[in-house]
Structure 1
Amino acid sequence: MKKTSREFIRFVIIGGINTFNYYAVYLLLHTLWRWPYLPSHVTAFFISFVLSFFLNSYFTFKVKPTLAKFLKFPLSQAVNFTASSLVMYVLIERFHISSIVTPILAVFVALPATFIVTSKILKKESVSA
């Protein structure tokens, strides 16, 4: 199996862990604490973002996490965040789909592009030592 294929499989596994983490935090904030869906989404996304950086560094791409990579990592999540936020908004506001299920649907929209950008950022060697 090609290295990229193995990395993608690990990326999907880590994505599953991150999705579970995100969704647990989202539900806690949105359903138990009665926060509106958008602040719940943003907060849960940030928490899972930090976890994602370390899990993808160590497990998916097997690279050492650095401050430089961590500072660039938000670029990889910009596509993910923008797409998932837009999908959530459209599904909730336009199609009146439950705000409880829309985060899960939104995850699948951004997966391929997020993998490509994350791979490029985490596998690129830092210029400064």
Structure 2
Amino acid sequence: MRALPTPGRRCQIVRFAAVGGVNTLTFSACYLPLHRLLPYFAAYTAAFVTSMVGSFFLNTCFTYRTRPTWTKFLLFPLTQVTNYGVQSAGLVALVGWCGMNTAVAPLVAALCALPFSYLVSRRILRPSARTGPTTKAGPPPVRSGGPA
């Protein structure tokens, strides 16, 4: 059984959810106008990419409180591959199989992808201490001879 999240981790999850709310608004602000001009899936993809760039900066600076770097920026789309896949499959299923309205279906699909998105983005933007170089201070060297 897993331990409960620490208070710091809980705050991080709350910040992630807040960023998700902002991303949802950004996505909707892009998707809904584009939906009138483009096929729904093209509008969805353009809105997704736009909100992903915003998500990177909000998550690095606000959620995980880490410095944005070019490396993280270039890796961040990898964190969204799962998210995009889950959302895309959900969108197609909700619209094609369930007949859901194309203006609402992306929001429902996004909710299904949230847990995956959090875990993967945390892994990329806040790598564990084990992934970086280690500089452990070992015991002091033993000196031979003479009093200590």
Same fold (TM over 0.5): yes
How many residue pairs match? The answer is 126
Distance in 2 between the 1:61 and 1:16 partners? 16
| 2:71 counterpart residue number | 68
Distance in 2 between the 1:4 and 1:77 partners? 21
Gaps of 5+ in 1: none
Q: Does 1:100 align with 2:106?
A: no
Q: 1:36-79: per-residue Cα shift (whole Å, max 9, x none)?
A: 01100100000000000000000000000001111111111111
CA shift, 1:3, in A, is 1.3
Q: Does 1:22 align with 2:52?
A: no
Gaps of 5+ in 2: 1-5, 133-148
Bigger proportion of residues as helix: 1
Q: Which consecutive segments of 4 or more residues in structure 1 shift more than 6 A?
A: none
Root-mean-square deviation (CA, aligned residues, Å) is 1.6
How does the TM-score come out when normalised to structure 1? 0.92
Distance in 1 between the 2:8 and 2:76 partners? 21
Q: Which has the higher contact order (CA 8 A, sep 6+)?
A: 1
Bigger Rg, structure 1 or 2? 2
How does the TM-score come out when normalised to structure 2? 0.81
